[in-house]
Amino acid sequence: MTDAQAVPESFVVRLDTGEGIHYLDWGNEPAEPDATTEPDGAATLPLLVLLHGLSQTCWSWAPVARRLAPHTRVLAPDLRGHGLSDPTRAGYDLDSLATDMLTVVSGAGWGEAVGGAPVVVAGHGFGAMIAATMSAQAPGSVAGVALVDGGWEEMAEATRSSADEYLAAIAEPPEVFSSMEAFLADRRDFHPPTWDTDQERAARAQVDQKHLGHVGLVSRPTAIRGSVQAMWTYDPSEVLTAVPRPLAVLVAETSADDEGARERRLALEDVLAMRAARGLPAADVSRFTGAGHNLMRYRPDEVAASLLTLLRTATSADAPGDPA
């Protein structure tokens, strides 16, 4: 079920440093933090937190959030230095980014808040690394983790490049930013059949107006650079073997047979084997052949279905203690 009219509220949580972290809240607020009930009266579901990827904003998750809002409360934050969240002088390491998101969770009355219950966290790309780090850092606050096309690979190995080389490779040509119309046309042309009001809203949220009609990314250059550097420090074998809760993995495969897809599959198999050797819950792996990286745009129904399965699994799973 999709709530096409679901409009999120916008909030800001203040960190101890005074910096603000912005998030969208798709309501469905229950009377008690652990009492979010599905429309059919089935088992209660946890809060769902959706983390965007590099240089994106919270609005990238809107197609999926609207589909899940009838089932549970959904939050989508802007990472520090992205969207409407403040930049920081403290850096963009993964532990700090995870702490930011745990602060959002507790600020919403969940996690480590008094009477708070654990949440399910889904992250896309870079956001998947943060989601996994949240669970490893505070397992009592996270009931389940979804890695949406990211979070199981070492970036240096996966890209065969350094962080600086990757930054240069993802830089976009100036003409993309010559006007809002040019930017929107560029984003539309990624895949015209899936261009809709959600995608236009997400694209507009990525940029703001500059001089002479030009636009520029809202995400600060220091945030993008710091985030990429953080991506290169991520060790999936270390982090994912410290995630004690149910795990869902959503894999975008433009082709199931090319070398890149095979290498990604092997990297995932390796880290899941490490989890199995430690007796951790098996992962629910979903593959999306023919889909690009932005699964929220290309396959929102299937992504929502996978996350709903994880929410229900996390609800029924026994809560383990901290990992050894």
- Over residues 98-145, the pLDDT tens digits come to 999 999 999 999 999 989 999 999 999 999 999 999 999 999 999 999
Q: What is the DSSP letter of 280?
A: P
pLDDT reading at 41 higher than 50? no
pLDDT reading at 223 higher than 90? yes
Residue % of the chain over a pLDDT of 90: 84
Compute the half-sphere exposure of residue 227: CA atoms within 13 Å on the CB side of its CA: 26
Per-residue pLDDT tens over the stretch 64-99: 999 999 999 999 999 999 999 999 988 999 999 999
Average pLDDT over the chain, rounded to an integer: 92
Q: What is the pLDDT of residue 27?
A: 85
Helix (H) or strand (E) holding 112: none
Task: Please report whether residue 310 resides in a domain.
Answer: yes
Indicate the pLDDT class of residue 43, thresholds 50, 70 and 90. Answer: low
Task: Please report whether residue 56 resides in a domain.
Answer: yes
Residue 158, domain extent: 9-169+220-316
Per-residue pLDDT tens over the stretch 240-273: 999 999 999 999 998 767 788 889 999 999 999 9
Task: Report the pLDDT averaged over residues 202-225.
Answer: 95
Task: Please report whether residue 191 resides in a domain.
Answer: no
Q: Name the residue with higher pLDDT: 268 or 33.
A: 268
Sheet arrangement for strand 283-289 = 9-14, 20-25, 74-77, 48-51, 119-124, 142-148, 247-253, 283-289
The tally of domains found in the chain comes to: 1
Per-residue pLDDT tens over the stretch 161-170: 999 999 999 9
pTM of the model: 0.93
Task: Please report whether residue 96 resides in a domain.
Answer: yes
Task: Please report whether residue 33 resides in a domain.
Answer: yes
Q: Name the residue with higher pLDDT: 35 or 37.
A: 37
pLDDT reading at 283 higher than 60? yes
Distance CA 51, CA 21 (A): 12
Helix (H) or strand (E) holding 31: none
Distance CA 222, CA 219 (A): 8
pLDDT reading at 37 higher than 70? no
CATH number reported for the structural domain that contains residue 272 in this entry: 3.40.50.1820
Task: Please report whether residue 197 resides in a domain.
Answer: no
Indicate the pLDDT class of residue 5, thresholds 50, 70 and 90. Answer: low
Indicate the pLDDT class of residue 30, thresholds 50, 70 and 90. Answer: very low
Task: Please report whether residue 177 resides in a domain.
Answer: no
Q: Where are the alpha helices (DSSP H) in the chain?
A: 62-68, 94-107, 126-137, 155-159, 163-170, 180-188, 197-206, 221-231, 236-239, 259-277, 295-298, 300-316
The amino acid occupying position 232 is: W
Task: Please report whether residue 209 resides in a domain.
Answer: no
Which of 3, 87, 49, 56 shows the shortest CA–CA distance to 204?
56
